[in-house]
């Protein structure tokens, strides 16, 4: 045999690994479809990053956390100023709160969970039509957190839908299940409205908007930016995992936008970093979990916190969540509000835009709040 024809076991191993690697890109739902009792090494985290660990040390206690609750109906009434105070405290101390009495009909949220569940139950061939490596594609099906750079994969599949402007994008969304577009579009419109109302309240709580005495014309300009702002919907699917202590549904991260509205089914999984440990957020029926994103931390010059969070998986139940990320338009730049910067409070962040964010996440392994850290002025 000529040397050129020699195939070593090493070659075969490399080839097999490459095939396996491509298989993992098809997602965890597909991986589970044939039934597995152990998770592949690709999903096994180093000990220090596993669910039982907090920054390499044991995560003491299994603490459940009741997040501050904001009653949206009350925010619209005579007690608005008290609710704004609670909102400010929640954004400063937790970076998270839950919204109840939000006014979105229960059918709208339950239909969204229901049609999303049915989407992930479609045959793989149907779901995979929406796979794309183009970050700007109006619809993108994929797996893990940032599958192009993740060394260890996460136990999640996702469907990302760009929602602005809705009339331009909706016909790119999945046509199956048949009711998906209609139900997802209704959900997108309702959550957009809720996000605008919450954004207005948050700006007001920072002394920047609404009935604030020192309001300036620029304050109204900010709200116009949000009305035409970016809106991304991420439908997350976490199948039951045979070894949930070895992996995560999502690694520790912060959200890049201004505000995230999270809808989850009744299965818990979300954990936030709070007082030097990971704490599990107790789901409240018919509520939204809302969190401060990197853009709001920058805009508030550090007063409101974009808090790191992660997702646990479990061996028994399937979990679906829908995260709606809202911010100003893609082409705009976020900087600390001039009204929140003075001699006592010097500017603490560099400007941030979407282009630099996208470049950042595609160039390195996304860990903790890297992007936000990169924006900090020392």
Contact at 8 Å (CB) between 322 and 180? no
For β-strands 57-58 and 259-264, DSSP reports them as unpaired
Q: Is 265 in the site for Ni ion (CB under 5 A)?
A: no
Q: Is 294 in the site for Ni ion (CB under 5 A)?
A: no
Q: Is 204 in the site for Ni ion (CB under 5 A)?
A: no
Beta bridge partners of 157: 143, 237
Both tokens of 323, joined, read 């995260």
Element (H, E) at 53: strand 53-54
Q: Which does 199 bind (CB under 5 to 8 A by kind): ligand OGA, Ni ion, none?
A: none
Choose between 164 and 264: whose C-beta lies nearer to ligand OGA: 264
Q: Give the burial string for 95-129 (b: 16+ CB within 10 Å, else e).
A: bbbbbeebebeeeebebbbbbbeebbebeeeebee
Name which position in 88, 311, 313, 372 contacts ligand OGA (CB under 6 A). Answer: 311
Beta bridge partners of 291: 96, 260
Contact at 8 Å (CB) between 340 and 206? yes
We find the least distance from the C-beta atom of residue 270 to ligand OGA, in angstroms, to be 4
Choose between 138 and 269: whose C-beta lies nearer to ligand OGA: 269
Site string for ligand OGA, 230-269 (x = CB under 6 A): ----x-x-------------x----x------x-x----x
Our measurement of the distance from residue 284's CA atom to the centroid of its chain's CA atoms, rounded to an integer in Å, reads 18
Q: Is 290 in the site for ligand OGA (CB under 6 A)?
A: no
Q: Is 233 exposed, middle or buried (0-12, 13-18, 19+ CB in 10 A)?
A: buried
Q: Is 31 in the site for ligand OGA (CB under 6 A)?
A: no
We find the least distance from the C-beta atom of residue 255 to ligand OGA, in angstroms, to be 5
We find the least distance from the C-beta atom of residue 253 to Ni ion, in angstroms, to be 6
We find the least distance from the C-beta atom of residue 293 to Ni ion, in angstroms, to be 8
Q: Give the burial string for 293-319 (b: 16+ CB within 10 Å, else e).
A: bbbbbbbbbbbbbbbbbbbbbeeeebb
We find the least distance from the C-beta atom of residue 29 to ligand OGA, in angstroms, to be 15
Both tokens of 168, joined, read 């331009």
We find the least distance from the C-beta atom of residue 323 to ligand OGA, in angstroms, to be 3
User: Which residue minimizes CB distance to Ni ion?
Assistant: 255
We find the least distance from the C-beta atom of residue 249 to ligand OGA, in angstroms, to be 7
Question: What does the alpha-carbon distance between residue 97 and residue 116 come to, in Å, rounded to a whole number?
Answer: 24
Choose between 208 and 241: whose C-beta lies nearer to ligand OGA: 241
Count of residues of this chain found to bind ligand OGA when the rule CB under 6 A is applied: 12
Choose between 72 and 238: whose C-beta lies nearer to ligand OGA: 238
Choose between 255 and 297: whose C-beta lies nearer to ligand OGA: 255
Q: For helices 180-205 and 80-93, give the axis angle rounded to 10 degrees.
A: 100
We find the least distance from the C-beta atom of residue 378 to ligand OGA, in angstroms, to be 27
Choose between 84 and 272: whose C-beta lies nearer to Ni ion: 272
Name which position in 191, 321, 327, 335 contacts ligand OGA (CB under 6 A). Answer: 321
Q: What are phi and psi of 67, to 5 degrees?
A: -75, 155
Question: What does the alpha-carbon distance between residue 43 and residue 82 come to, in Å, rounded to a whole number?
Answer: 46
Choose between 113 and 206: whose C-beta lies nearer to ligand OGA: 113
Site string for Ni ion, 232-261 (x = CB under 5 A): -----------------------x------
DSSP structure string for 175-189: --STTHHHHHHHHHH
We find the least distance from the C-beta atom of residue 248 to ligand OGA, in angstroms, to be 11
Best CA proximity match to 289, nearest among 62, 76, 69, 51 = 69
Residues that bind ligand OGA (CB under 6 A): 234, 236, 250, 255, 262, 264, 269-270, 309, 311, 321, 323
């Amino acid at each position: 045999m000529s040397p050129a024809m020699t195939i070593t076991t090493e070659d075969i191993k490399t080839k097999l690994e490459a095939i396996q690697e491509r298989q993992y890109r098809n997602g965890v739902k597909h991986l589970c479809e044939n039934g597995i009792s152990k998770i592949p090494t690709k999903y096994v985290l180093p000990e220090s990053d596993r669910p039982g660990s907090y920054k390499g040390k044991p995560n003491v206690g299994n603490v459940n956390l009741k997040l501050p609750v904001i009653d949206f109906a009350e925010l619209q009434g005579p007690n608005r100023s008290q609710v704004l105070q609670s909102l400010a405290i929640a954004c400063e101390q937790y970076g998270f709160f839950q919204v109840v009495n939000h006014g979105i009909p229960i059918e709208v949220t339950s239909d969204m969970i229901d049609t999303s569940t049915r989407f992930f139950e479609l045959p793989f061939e149907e779901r995979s039509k929406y796979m794309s490596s183009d970050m700007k594609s109006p619809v993108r099906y994929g797996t893990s957190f940032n599958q192009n750079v993740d060394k260890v994969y996460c136990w999640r599949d996702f469907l990302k839908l760009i929602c602005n402007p809705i009339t331009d994008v909706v016909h790119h969304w999945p046509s199956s299940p048949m009711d998906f577009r209609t139900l997802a579009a209704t959900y997108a419109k309702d959550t957009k409205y809720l996000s605008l109302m919450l954004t207005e309240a948050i700006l007001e709580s920072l002394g920047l908007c609404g009935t604030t005495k020192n309001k300036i014309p620029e304050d109204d300009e900010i709200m116009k930016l949000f009305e035409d702002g970016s809106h991304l919907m991420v439908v997350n699917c976490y199948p039951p995992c045979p070894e949930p202590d070895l992996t995560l549904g999502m690694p520790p991260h912060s959200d890049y936008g201004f505000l995230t509205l999270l809808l989850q089914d009744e299965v818990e999984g979300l954990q936030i970093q709070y007082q030097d440990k990971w704490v599990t957020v107790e789901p409240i029926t018919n509520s939204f979990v809302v969190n401060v994103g990197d853009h709001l931390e920058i805009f508030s010059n550090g007063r409101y916190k974009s808090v790191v969070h992660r997702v646990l998986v479990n061996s028994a139940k399937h979990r679906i969540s829908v995260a709606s990320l809202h911010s100003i338009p893609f082409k705009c730049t976020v900087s600390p509000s001039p009204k929140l910067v003075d001699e006592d409070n010097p500017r603490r962040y560099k400007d941030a835009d979407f282009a630099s964010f996208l470049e950042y996440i595609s160039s390195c392994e996304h860990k903790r709040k890297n992007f936000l850290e990169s924006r900090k002025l020392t």
